Structure 1
């Protein structure tokens, strides 16, 4: 069983690595972005709540996000483990995740940080050419990430594995798997 949280700045390739790792580990990739889209499109109670905030341009509150994650972790395929992408984003959510897992007598195995140079990520995101990706916007998102995530990395210090997030996808995946196996003893 492997329960892993993936963290890294916007543009670090978390989504790509989460998909690759979940396939290699045989556990589901759980993305909060995917959960939001699913709940909103299916017009679930949580989706309706989330959409109200999203339409107003506001952050979806932790209570709604936590509810979506709680439901997803209760599904059968997630009982064997998971790769979480986009959750937790803060220490309050991290505490909630611990409570959720404790209900199943489980715990988080590792937090895998994809470390990338800010300038490299800024250039990578600018190269995508999205109209909303101006350099100022990208730099602001990087700063917000570092400010919000620093306490989270400290919170998870005992389970934190940091790897170099630069290179090709397969190279980073291999690096991540090697680090996870070394840390968890190959479990």
Structure 2
């Protein structure tokens, strides 16, 4: 595999496409290849952590997550910025962001930040699954933030927001067929990254 030191990966796709799972597999693979300095985080997990806090912001976050609403842009930016500001101590560290950017403005802000920090161009990975498959997977999760109404809302904002992010990335995006076994999808990602 190529040397990905200083690279930022983002994983985007429909709810249930396997972003979190494939992030873990990618981290494990990169570490096995000698990349020890990796920052990996899930923006969704950061929101779920925040909603548990007994604060005004925590309670407010819980309300919009329960409805499946997309978080305000400023909040997503603040969360991933906060996650890397103390952890990115070496410009050669690999950063893997699971589930963000979700809006075009977030994608542009992330590009701007990474370029300003002197890092390599971002490699966005789109795990592409059908809406039918996404609904099937989400229904099997049993997570409290995935009820029927919130799932429908999440599917809708994938079409209205995330698709514009995928288009923005254009030729840079690594589009992966996200249907199949976890290992098959992981191998597809590795093959595609080796061609980058």
Quickly name the TM-score band, shorter chain normalised.
Answer: 0.7 to 0.9
Aligned length: 178
Aligned with 1:24 (options 16, 26, 29)? 29
The correspondence of residues 131-146 of structure 1 with structure 2, limited to 5 A, is 132-134=146-148, 137-146=150-159
Alpha-carbon contact 2:50-2:61 (below 8 Å) kept: no
Compute the TM-score of the two structures, normalised by the length of structure 1. Answer: 0.80
Higher relative helix content: 1
After superposing the two structures, state which structure 1 stretch, 8-17 or 95-104, moved more: 95-104
Aligned with 1:54 (options 61, 69, 87)? 61
Compute the TM-score of the two structures, normalised by the length of structure 2. Answer: 0.77
| 3-state SS in 2 of match to 1:4 | strand
Give the aligned partner of residue 98 of structure 2. 85
Check if 1:163 corresponds to 2:176: yes
Give the aligned partner of residue 4 of structure 1. 9
Alpha-carbon contact 2:111-2:122 (below 8 Å) kept: no
Report the Cα offset of residue 182 of structure 1.
Answer: 0.9
Q: Distance in 2 between matches of 1:174 and 1:77?
A: 30
Q: Judging changes above 3 Å, is the alpha-carbon distance between structure 1 residues 42 and 140 closer, same or farther for their aligned structure 2 residues?
A: closer
Alpha-carbon contact 1:116-1:165 (below 8 Å) kept: yes
Report the Cα offset of residue 177 of structure 1.
Answer: 1.2
Q: Judging changes above 3 Å, is the alpha-carbon distance between structure 1 residues 42 and 7 closer, same or farther for their aligned structure 2 residues?
A: same
Check if 1:15 corresponds to 2:55: no
Q: Distance in 2 between matches of 1:78 and 1:65?
A: 23
Give the aligned partner of residue 154 of structure 1. 167
Q: Judging changes above 3 Å, is the alpha-carbon distance between structure 1 residues 50 and 91 closer, same or farther for their aligned structure 2 residues?
A: farther
Could you tell me which runs of 5 or more consecutive residues in structure 2 were left unpaired when the two chains were aligned: 32-37
Give the aligned partner of residue 104 of structure 1. 117
Aligned with 1:64 (options 49, 55, 75)? 75
Q: Distance in 2 between matches of 1:86 and 1:95?
A: 15
Give the aligned partner of residue 95 of structure 1. 108
Q: Distance in 2 between matches of 1:163 and 1:122?
A: 18
Report the Cα offset of residue 156 of structure 1.
Answer: 0.6
Give the aligned partner of residue 88 of structure 2. 76
Q: Distance in 2 between matches of 1:117 and 1:77?
A: 38
